[in-house]
Amino acid sequence: MNDSIITIRHLSHTYQSGPHVRAALVDINLEIVRGSCVAIIGVTGSGKSTLVQHLNGLLRPTSGTVVVDGIDVNARGVDLVALRQRVGMLFQFPESQLFEPTVYADVAFGPRRMKLSKREVRTRVFKALETVGLPPHEYAQRSPFDLSGGQMRRVALAGVLAMSPTILVLDEPTTGLDADARSEFYSYLRRVQQEQGVTIILVSHDMSEVAALADWLCVLHNGHLVTQGPPRSIFTQGDTLRTWGLATPPLSELLALLRQHGIAIPPEVFTLDEAFEVLQKLYNVPGPRVQVQQEKNHV
Partner 1 sequence: MFKNISFGVYYPGNSLLHRLQARTKLLLLGWFTIFVTIANHHTWKFAPYIVLAISVLLGTALAGISFNHMWGRMKLLILLSLLAAIPTIFSRNDNSLPLYTLSPAHVAFDAIRWAIVIYGVVLTVYIILSWLPLPAIRSFLHWPGSRRMRITFIVLTLLALAILWLIRNHPPGATFPIGPFVITDTGTWALMTLFTVFLSLYAFSVILTTTTTPIALIEGLTMLLKPLRWLRLPVDEFALMALIALRFFPTLFEELEQLLKAQISRGADYAHGSLRERVQSLVSLFVPMMQGVLRRASDLSVALEARGYHIEGKQTYLHETSFKTLDYTVLAVVIVVTVGALLV
**Residue with Cβ nearer partner 1 (2 or 16):** 16
Check residue 113 for interaction with partner 1 (CB under 8 A).
yes
223 binds partner 1 (CB under 8 A): no
CB neighbours of 240 closer than 8 A, spacing ≥ 6?
Answer: 227
Q: How far apart are CA 230 and CA 69, in angstroms?
A: 22
Stretch that binds partner 1, among 86-94, 116-124, 178-186, 246-254 (CB under 8 A): 86-94
| Residue 200 neighbours by CB under 8 Å, 6+ apart | 36, 37, 38, 167, 168, 170, 189, 192, 193, 213
Q: How far is the CB of 238 from partner 1 (least distance, A)?
A: 33
β-strand partners of 15: 22
Q: For partner 1, which stretch binds (CB under 8 A), given 11-19, 178-186, 226-234, 247-255?
A: 11-19
Q: Are 159 and 152 in contact (CB under 8 A)?
A: no
Strands (E), 94-205: 167-171, 199-204
Give the shortest CB-13-to-partner 1 separation in angstroms. Answer: 12
Quote the least distance from Cβ 138 to partner 1, whole Å.
Answer: 23
Q: Which stretch binds partner 1 (CB under 8 A): 9-17, 180-188, 276-284, 291-299?
A: 9-17
Q: Which of 47, 64, 110, 249 binds partner 1 (CB under 8 A)?
A: 110
Residue 193 binds partner 1 (CB under 8 A): no
Please, what sign has the CA dihedral across residues 99, 105, 110, 114? negative
Question: Using the rule CB under 8 A, which residue among 42, 64, 88, 173 binds partner 1?
Answer: 88
187 binding partner 1? (CB under 8 A): no
Q: How far apart are CA 39 and CA 202, in angstroms?
A: 4
C-alpha separations of 254 from 205, 230, 272, 274, 297 in Å: 19, 19, 11, 13, 18
- Considering only 65-73, 94-102, 177-185, 259-267, which stretch makes contact with partner 1 by CB under 8 A? 94-102
Q: How many CA atoms lie within 13 A of 75 on its CB side?
A: 12
- For the chain, count helices (H), then strands (E): 13, 10
Residues 115-154 that bind partner 1 (CB under 8 A): none
Pick from 2, 16, 44, 297: which binds partner 1 (CB under 8 A)? Answer: 16
Binder to partner 1 among 159, 173, 231, 249 (CB under 8 A)? Answer: 159
Q: How far apart are the C-alpha atoms of 91 and 98, rounded to whole Å?
A: 12
Q: Is 92 in the site for partner 1 (CB under 8 A)?
A: yes
Q: Which is nearer to partner 1, 17 or 284 (CB)?
A: 17
Please identify which residue in 7, 26, 102, 109 interacts with partner 1, judged by CB under 8 A.
109
10 Å CB burial of residue 58 (0-12, 13-18, 19+) is middle
| Binding residues vs partner 1 (CB under 8 A) | 15-19, 53, 56, 58, 81, 84-85, 87-92, 94, 96-99, 109-114, 159-160, 163
